[in-house]
A and B are shown apart, each in its own frame.
Chain A
Amino acid sequence: MLTKSEAYMVIDRLINWAGSLDLQVKISGREQGLTRFAGSEIHQNVSQENLVVELTAKEGKKRATVTTNRLSERELQEAVKEVRQKLEFAGEEELEIPFVKEPDDIESSQYDDKLLQKFDIAGRVKELKKGLSQLTADMEAAGSLSLHNNFLALGNTEGITRYARLVKADFNSVVEKEGQTGYAALTSDNFADFSIEKLFSRAAAKANQSEQPVNIEPKEYPVILEPLAVGGLLTYLSYLGFSARSLQKGVSFLTDRLGEQVFSDKISIYDDHKHNETFKLPFDMEGVPRQKLTIIEKGVARELAYDLKSARKDNCQSTGHSIGRPSMGGLPLHLVMESGESNREEMLASLDRGLLITRFHYLNVVNPRQAIFTGLTRDGTFLIEEGEVKAPVQDLRFTDSLLKAFSRVTAISTEREKVANFSGFSLVPSLLLEGLKFTGRKET
């Protein structure tokens, strides 16, 4: 793990070797420890440590990238030479994309040291042992507990520097009892959020409630989506449609719909790295300061995530959402869905007949422009009748347009949870939807 000054020294050295070449240097360090269990015993217990240097050179509209984790002086000098050579042969891109020039420095070195202390190799095993010991003899658990201790540093020949420490932990577990399952998960950068025992209890309670599921007909039902289910859908919505690049490619469901009402006026979605419940990364993979985005405001599509290239194409400024892959453009990584005014009991009480869904499995896009997704319910799906949980149900497959489903939101919970997304976590509530169309039933 390089400190800020160590990382900046490496950047300086590379930029010096580059001479007159326009160069951006990105260094990412990763130390990960993960303990995985199944059948209530550890079956994979692993650690990995890597340090990667990425060099991006540009000249006019030409651009080339070389990435290496071979970091001796000779090998780094070769990497600079290689990126220079590659640039010579590179064809021109559509637009010239300048490197970031300001501000001079951004640093985010704060992290929760307790995560590193409590979730080291011995700590993970200790926490899991405690959690697993409270399960009854007829239960088995599978899942993982991991610690991610990373940093990101960036600099370029315009003289800017960036450094951030990124430390988080992930936990997830399926608890199985007589063939029925429950699930709990948490991703956070704050140790105080973690009670592994409570998370195991939550998954166990779901498994207990899931005994003797009934089969119901696949058709449209009103649904309460718990935060894990909402987080899954939001991750895919974001990936598919919240970047300017996805509109430029014509694959976003927000194409030609900016400024229009696309969801219920109860739904507001932001990307906010300054929110105290999101992780701390104040700049993007091009060094651009991250801005807050109002993506959906009271159901109206407002702002999109831009990287430098997609912004240049739309003749505007980057919003600081590059993920380092120009083919994907900007992507919001700090998603926050506005909470509502209902508690769980009120949401349940308002349902005459419907389903309570813990999470979805294997979500995928069926039709991107209409935001039609498919996926299956999993690890805790319950029939609600007259405001009460009546029975667990066999899992169902939904296939529906989220433009349609999210336009019929009748309640949003006050409480929100951190749910893992593609690279960090989102902060999301539970939603009550008037209808979600189920098109198949899982066979057992």
Chain B
Amino acid sequence: MEKQVTDLIQYLKDQNVDYADVRYVKTESETIATEDLKVQELASEVDAGVGIRVIIDGAQGFAAVADLDKLKQTALKAIKIAESSAKIQKNRISLSSKKTVQDSYATPFDRDPFEVELQNKIELLQAAEEEMKAEAELFKTTGHLKFNNIQKVYADTEGSIIHQDLLESGGGIQAYAYQDDDMQIRSYPCGFGGNYARAGYEFIEELELVENSRKIAREAATLAEAEECPSGELDLLIDSSQMTLQIHESVGHPIELDRIFGAEAAYAGTSFLEPAMLGKYQYGSDIINIVADATTPRGLGTFGYDDEGVEAQKKDIISNGILRGFLTSRDTASSLGQSSGGAARADGWQNLPLIRMTNINLLPGDKSWEELLAGIDDGLYLKTNRSWSIDDKRLNFQFGCEIAYEIKKGQLTGKIYKNPVYAGITPEFWQKCDAIGEEELWELYGVPNCGKGQPGQSAHVGHGSAPTRFRQVEVGVGNAN
């Protein structure tokens, strides 16, 4: 495919564009879903095409096509679109400089999931379901596996040519239980259909779906009979399976520089952050250290190069509670006089790269599990995201979890509550953080469905964190009685 891509770059140069990049992306995927021990979905997909971006006189056009016989025609369409864009343009697009490379990158893995017998994958999910059903009286059980093999060829008029082979594996299980008029769900290893990583089938084996199935089955059945989560201001210990969402919504999205510049204003909104806050703004307490790290081993937001051909980087976002960085692309970084942070990512061949999260990780603290608990006299340990909503400046949030474990006098009492919901204002909330779990407690979760943009794009991103403690958080607002 490299020849077709580089030939197209030459064709675009011949058309006298100021800049162009061409991305060929081919994604092969496999989805397996089971429900109540039966196969619910068995599907595979091949999706391939080419996306062409051009800049002419500071105006941008993008056109994408699946039919590889229409590449030149589509290139001319991208040029026509750029010429149209120029008619309503105040500021010329300027790309920050980058290193020109000819390189390749591949996800490291031990076992190709596409080589694993289909029957083995189905049987794995069914075995986990059997364990769940044996453990508790459940209304329903489900299991899910998904694998993506993404092949990319990138070239631009500056001379870069990059090949990437990215492999993704993910899966999870769920137990449903209900009593009277309430349905309760427990998921393992997390919500969003499970945990995902850029890794091979070994990642699925390490999830130990079967070994962890009985616990969530018991918890689902117990939740169905549990009391509603209490209301009030309580100390919270938030598990990594929920911190993932907390980081995603209240740090990951607000630091996207295109959002800060207003690009998403009509859709999911803007951000409370401004460029002038860099280096000064107290985002949270001084133990908060967050990085955007596209090099995290196995991260779902890990790659060799972003979709502008910028090398993967690890950047400070929040250091000792102070805002230090944004997620940037070549054009937005240029507005700040910086080089790109390598966060321009497109959903497939058919979409223009936007600024997307990579792996936005909360770095570990120094507290053991016992120390985290010991500091709580009356509080809750919250696990696994279930519901999320945040305002259009990314300030007022309200998140729901699957389960709350009661903490009294520094100990888990064994009592659980259903339907826990907590709410806050982003910087006030992060200021309430007074303890973060140590490295051994740190876990990485992959989110395969981060939505942004028009037309809508879905990004695969990662978040690492350890259980984290917050003081006096508003809990229980979801009980609308």
Contact = CB atoms under 8 A, between A and B. Distances in A.
B89 A144 contact: no
A86 B118 contact: yes
B276 interface: no
Interface string B47-80: 1110000000001111111110010001001101
Interface stretch (B175-183, B297-305, B465-473): B175-183
Most buried by B among A36, A46, A70, A173: A46
Contacts of A397: 389, 391, 396, 398, 423
Given A32-B455, A121-B84, A128-B88, A38 B39 contact: no
A196 interface: no
Nearest to B89: A41
Contacts of B396: 376, 397, 440-443
Given A91-B38, A362-B390, A366-B400, A68 B45 contact: yes
A391 interface: no
Interface stretch (A161-169, A267-275, A293-301, A367-375): A367-375
Given A89-B119, A361-B269, A374-B398, A50 B391 contact: no
A45 B38 contact: no
B60 A45 contact: yes
A173 B262 CA distance: 13
Interface residues of B, number: 84
Contact of A42 (B85, B139, B421, B453): B85
B63 A364 contact: no
Given A49-B64, A142-B262, A44 B90 contact: no
A249 B38 CA distance: 14
Contacts of B181: 255-256, 369-370
Contact of A146 (B61, B78, B419, B454): B454
B95 interface: no
B26 to A, nearest CB: 9
B268 interface: yes
Contacts of A326: 40-41
A174 B66 contact: no
Interface residues of A, number: 93
Interface string B259-286: 0011111111100000000000000000
Contacts of A42: 59, 84-85, 87-89
Contacts of A444: 393, 395
A38 B88 CA distance: 10
Contacts of B66: 49-52, 69
Nearest to A142: B265
Interface stretch (A59-67, A152-160, A207-215, A278-286): A59-67
Given A45-B61, A90-B39, A397-B396, A362 B268 contact: yes
B352 interface: yes
A132 B478 CA distance: 41
A404 B61 CA distance: 48
A378 B389 CA distance: 13
A122 interface: yes
B374 interface: no
A36 B262 CA distance: 12
B478 A89 contact: no
B81 interface: yes
B122 interface: yes
A66 B118 contact: no
A375 B389 contact: yes
A439 interface: yes
A40 interface: yes
Interface in B376-390: 387-390
B413 interface: no
Interface string A178-197: 00010100000000000000
A341 interface: no
Contact of A366 (B74, B351, B387): B387
Given A90-B118, A250-B139, A369 B84 contact: no
A362 B269 CA distance: 10
B425 interface: yes
Given A69-B49, A440-B398, A399 B42 contact: no
Interface in B99-141: 117-119, 122, 126, 139-140
Given A70-B48, A327-B41, A369-B182, A41 B82 contact: no
Interface string B389-426: 11111011010100000000000000000010101010
Nearest to B478: A366
Contacts of B391: 361-362, 376, 378, 395, 397, 442
Interface string A370-410: 10101110100000000000000001010111001000000
B352 A44 contact: yes
Contacts of A365: 387
11 contacts: A35-B85, A48-B350, A91-B126, A92-B39, A142-B264, A251-B183, A327-B35, A362-B392, A375-B389, A399-B480, A444-B395
Closest 3 CB pairs of A and B: A142-B265, A143-B266, A67-B45
Given A442-B395, A443-B425, 12 more contacts: A39-B261, A42-B89, A49-B66, A69-B49, A91-B122, A122-B84, A142-B263, A326-B41, A361-B269, A372-B478, A404-B480, A444-B393
